[in-house]
Every structure is written in C-alpha cells, then in structure tokens.
Chains A and B, each alone.
Chain A
Amino acid sequence: MSVKPISREAQLRDDVARAAMAARRRKVLRAAVGRGVILVILCLGAVVVMAPVVWMISTSLKSLYETQEFPPRWIPRVLHWENYPNALTILPFATYFKNSTIITLTIMVGEVLSNSFVAYGFARLRGPGRNILFVLVLSTMLIPYPVIMIPQYILFKNLGWIDTFLPLIVPPCFSSAYLIFLMRQFYMTIPREMDDAAEIDGCSYFGIYRRIMLPLAKPALVTVAIFSFTYNWNDYLAPLIYINSQSNYTLTLGLSNFLGRYNPISWHLIMAASLVTVLPCVVLFFFAQRFFIQGVVVSGVKG
C-alpha cells in the first residue's frame, strides 16, 4: 500500500517528462522542417538569380544560328570559343579596354588619395563650422546628377575638354560625398590614443594622416578603391555625354555601339563582349568580397 502512491507519482512524473521531451522533439523537428523549407526557397532563388548569368555564358558560346532557335537551348551543341576573339576584334575593343582602364585607374588613385585626405579632416580635426560642413557633404548626396550635368558640360566645353578623358577624370578626383562618409566612418573606429601618442612624439597632422591613419585604414582604402573602380568602370551617362570619337570610347560606349550595327543582332558576340567587360568587376568581387560587404555595411547600417 505504501509503494503504490510513490509509483503512481513516479509514473506521473515520468509521463510529464516524456511529454516534455516529445514537445521538445516536436519543436526541434518543426525548426528543422522550417530550415529545410527556407533552404529550398533560397536554392530556388539562387537558381533564378544565377540563370541570367548562365544564359549569358551559354549564349556567348553559341553560333549565330543557335541564337535564333526557339525554344532556346541552354547548352550549345558545339562550344564556339572563337566568339570571344571575334567579338573583341570586330570593333576595336582593345582600344576601349585601354581607355576604360586608363580612366578608371586614374580616378581610383585620385579618389583614394582625396577621400582619405578629406575624411581625416572631418574625422579628427576640430575646425570652425565642421559639423555644418559635414552635413553639407552628406546633403550633396541628394543632388541628382542631371542637375549639375548641363552646367558641367558647358564648363568643360568652354575649357575645350569635350572628347577628352578630363571631364570624366577631374571632378571625382576632388573627393565624393559617399566615399568621404565611408572613410570617415572607418577612421572613427581607430582609437584616438594612436593620434595622441604620435602628436606627443611631435608628429604633424599631415604626419599622423600619412604614418598612422593611412596604414591603419588599409581595409577602408581597399573598399574605396573597389567602389570607385566598379562605379566608374560601369559608368555610362558621363562618357555618353563627353566622348564623341570612336578612338576615345570607353567599354560601355563600345558595347552599346555594338547593338545597332549588325542585323540580325549578333547576340552571341554581344554576350561574349559583355562578359569580357564585366570580368574585371567579377574577379575583383571574388577576391575582395569582404571589402565589398564591409563597405556596403559601414555606409548603410551606421549611417
């Protein structure tokens, strides 16, 4: 008689424990199912996102005849690698490539230097009107390019700079609001003690910028360089306005010029040329993904 209540109690406790375990298992199971569903959705999304890229590569290896099949094939019967040399020689792509490289690299060096320089002032030095000026810097991001495009065009026309690289290269080299902001945000994360120590050692402000901040800000400099490169490599409107002669065309102008020239449109060649054009950006992205993501995050989350 004395054993029974205990065993009943034990059994009750046992039941409760078992029920709790079942509930926990159900919860784990539900979470796993949820995660599985999410994984499936993400995979489908990834297929949708990658499909245009695959289609681009596939087209670039087709023959003209195969580009005019319906429904289209995803895998060409024969891989026409010769499309690449053909696409790049049918128009003077080597020249376009050279022009784009000169313009983009010059702007890149200019932007890294000027923005790191200006941002140091905003991040570290106290001067009269600093906060107002910084708000002004940020608000210039709101100015649509079309507002300044026409007067800039007139200015450069009067300087005789039309159909040269100068209208494309010179303005960005005076720093840009977005990149100043990016650099400043990064400088703010560098401990102030670094500057103070250097200052006590008799370092000038320029010395601090040059010997302390620049070496420490290398990741941010890389980010600025990458953003500058991808933006200017892909820029279309400014070259469209300022560049007239074929020999000065950038890659984007050359590519767009491809379209209207041949009938029927040689999509296999256009895709091959497009792929070569985007290749530097893609390669840069894969090697420096960390910096891309970091740059995007710094500018947006803490902004």
Chain B
Amino acid sequence: MATTAAPTTKRPWLTRTRKEGLWFYIFISPWIVGFLIFLAGPIITSAYLSLTTYDVTSPPSFLGLQNYSDLLSDDLFWLSLKITTIYSFVSVPLGMAVALGVALMLNQKIPFVRVFRTIYYLPSVISGVSVTLLWLWIFNPDFGVLNGLLSQLFHIKGPRWVFSEQWVLPSFIIMSLWTTGGSMVLYLAGLQGVPTELYEAASLDGAGAWRRFWNVTLPMISPVILFTLITGIITSFQTFTQVQIMTQGGPHYGSLFYVFYLWQNAFGGSATDMGYASAMAWILFVLVLILTLLALRSARIWVYYEGEART
C-alpha cells in the first residue's frame, strides 16, 4: 500500500491542520504587514537613528552613543523627565482614587445611576483640542470662570494657573481629573462583578464596611486597578496636546513635558535633530517598559486572580 502512488495523492500536503494554520496566517496577515511596516521597521530604524545626527535634508551621520551621553548632560532633558514623572505619579493615582470613589458610590442602591454614569463619563468622550481650549479659557487668569468663582465664593484672588510656573502642573492635574470617567466605568463594571455571597459571608463573620472594602472589594477588583494603572502610566508619559496648545512648555519651562521636548527636537523650530529625538524616544520606551514591568511584578503581591491556586 505504501508503494502505490494513490495514498500520496489521497493524503495531500494540505492536511486539515495545515489548512487551518494557513488560514490563520491569511486572517492575521493585515496585522503582520502593518506590524512589519509601521511598527517593527520604524522601531529598528529609530534605534539606528538614535545613534546618528539627522536633520532630514542631508543623510544621517553616525555618532555612536553620543546622543545618549549628550542627553545625560542636557538640563532640559532632565527637567522634562522630572516634570513628566511628577505629573504622572500624582495625576495617575489621584485619578484612580477619584474614579474608584465615584464608582463605589454609584455601586450603591442609588437612584439615577445611569444618569450619573453618563454625566461622569461624558468628558472622556470629548477629549483633545476642544477640551484643551476649553480649559485654557477656564484657567484664564483675568476673565476665566475658575478665578471668577474663587473671587465670588471665597474672595480669593486666584493664581495665574497655566501662566504661572508654580501652578502650571497643578492646573494640568486638575484638567486630567476631569476625564477620569473612562476608568470609573471600568471600576463600576468590576464592582458589579463581585459576588454578593462574599459580602454576606464577610458580614456573617462580623466584618464591618471598612473591612469588607479592604478584604473583599479591593482584592476582587485588583485586576482592574492594575489595568488602569498601566494604561494611566503609558498615556500620562505621552502628554502632548495640552502642552502644545496651552503652554508650549512654558512658562519658563514649567510644563516642558517629555514628549513635547522630544517633538520640539524632531519637528519644532529650526535646529531639528531627528537623531537626538530618537534617542529621547528610546529612553521613553525603556522607561515605560520598566514602569510597566514594575507594575506587573508588584501585581504578584497585590493582584488577586480568581481561579488562581492559593499558596
């Protein structure tokens, strides 16, 4: 039987498994093509460019690691890193706490939950330039509504907000709090997924509201907390639109965010150096990666996954 030709034609190369595998690659081919051309290629190019100086008009010339050593002695680089880190480390936890607080309140038996949810979520739908312009107007020191309310309600002369070196970062943080509705919706869904039996069991064991929150609610929604933490870090480290429109990094470098400084090096002004900017981009990449890994590593301690073997 094995010598006849029939079985080889009957059992073609394209078996069922192979056929399925082939179709798998056909289906994911758009992603593969996009990945190679628009992600993997650019990432490798970016790594190479970071070792050169390149002003687009003439071909890149190789520098070795000089961009990186230049960055280490660039005061503005360190300043932008500091500003971005402060902003991220304040606005992300603060935003998470506010979102979780609102979600906890909405998870009670409250009338109009859907109306509240809509209201709190709305700002995150209208992100971008319009919102930035709106807040620039709200923060307007002379005719803005914020200082208007401060003077009318509390008889305080408000600060100059985004036009003041000290107040520009707090202003940005206030603005970021306004759009935490997205994670609020996530927390709310997480809270509604906590089985009520757990709360009943905890109550029977004599746990008060506070203990129920610490020992039941928080562990059960810890995966959602991890998710919002990681996405929060990634987006906050890439803050750009607000800076470019509101302050251009000012006043006196008070809001020189990392990506804005990077953009300035690459596209803004006359002395563009795409090599230098690429080095900055790579440092950002590594930083975001390290922060994400730290969050994931620490998650082993504080994130609880259902169905995981208990130790």
Contact = CB atoms under 8 A, between A and B. Distances in A.
Contact of B129 (A42, A46, A236): A236
A262 interface: no
Interface in B201-240: 223-224, 227-228, 234, 237-238, 240
A278 B130 contact: yes
A261 B22 CA distance: 57
A118 B43 contact: no
Contact of B27 (A59, A125, A152, A173): A125
A102 interface: no
Contacts of A147: 42-43, 46, 281-282, 284-285
Interface residues of B, number: 99
A152 B278 CA distance: 12
A191 interface: no
Nearest to A171: B38
A289 B122 CA distance: 10
A150 B186 CA distance: 33
Contacts of A234: 126-130
Interface in B262-285: 262-263, 266-267, 274, 277-278, 280-282, 284-285
A127 B24 contact: yes
B49 A151 contact: yes
B24 A125 contact: yes
Interface in A242-298: 251-252, 255-256, 258-259, 267, 270-271, 274-275, 277-278, 281-282, 284-286, 289, 292-293, 296-297
A255 B193 CA distance: 42
Contacts of B39: 140, 143, 148
A151 B41 contact: yes
A301 B126 CA distance: 23
Interface in A32-89: 34-35, 38-39, 41-42, 45-46, 49-53, 55-56, 59, 67-72
Given A127-B25, A143-B39, A144-B288, A270 B133 contact: yes
Given A146-B262, A300-B186, A171 B34 contact: yes
Which of B41, B105, B110, B129 is most buried by chain A, counting CB atoms within 10 A of its CB? Answer: B129
B56 interface: yes
Q: Which has the most chain A C-beta neighbours within 10 Å: B30, B130, B144?
A: B130
Interface in A96-128: 114, 117-118, 120-122, 125-128
Given A142-B288, A152-B42, A259-B133, A292 B125 contact: yes
Contacts of B278: 150-151
> Which of B17, B25, B152 has the most C-beta atoms of chain A within 10 angstroms of its own C-beta?
B25
B277 A150 contact: yes
A70 B148 contact: yes
Interface string B130-141: 110111111010
B186 A296 contact: yes
Interface string A7-51: 000000000000000000000000000110011011001100111
Contacts of A180: 31
Nearest to B246: A259
Contacts of B170: none
Interface string A141-170: 111111111111111010000000000000
A29 to B, nearest CB: 15
Contacts of A274: 129-130, 133-134
B108 interface: yes
Interface string A122-136: 100111101001001
Given A52-B134, A67-B143, A114-B30, A150 B128 contact: no
A282 B241 contact: no
- What is the interface residue range for chain A against chain B? 35 or more
Interface string B1-32: 00000000000000001001111111110110
Contacts, number: 277
A156 B134 CA distance: 33
A69 B17 CA distance: 74
B44 to A, nearest CB: 8
Interface string B270-310: 00001001101110110011001000000000000000000
Given A39-B111, A147-B281, A151-B45, A296 B185 contact: yes
Contact of B142 (A70, A256, A259): A70
Contacts of A146: 238, 259, 262-263, 277, 280-281, 284
B49 A150 contact: yes
B189 interface: yes
A168 B290 CA distance: 30
Contact of B31 (A125, A126, A175, A206): A175
Contacts of A34: 108
A235 B128 CA distance: 7
Nearest to B293: A142
Nearest to B116: A42
B267 A38 contact: no
A186 interface: no
Nearest to A34: B108
Contacts of A209: 27
B241 A236 contact: yes
B245 A282 contact: no
B249 to A, nearest CB: 15
A301 B190 contact: yes
A68 B135 CA distance: 16
B278 to A, nearest CB: 5
B130 A45 contact: no
A59 B137 contact: yes
CB-CB nearest 7 A-B residue pairs: A174-B34, A127-B24, A121-B27, A234-B128, A151-B42, A151-B45, A71-B148
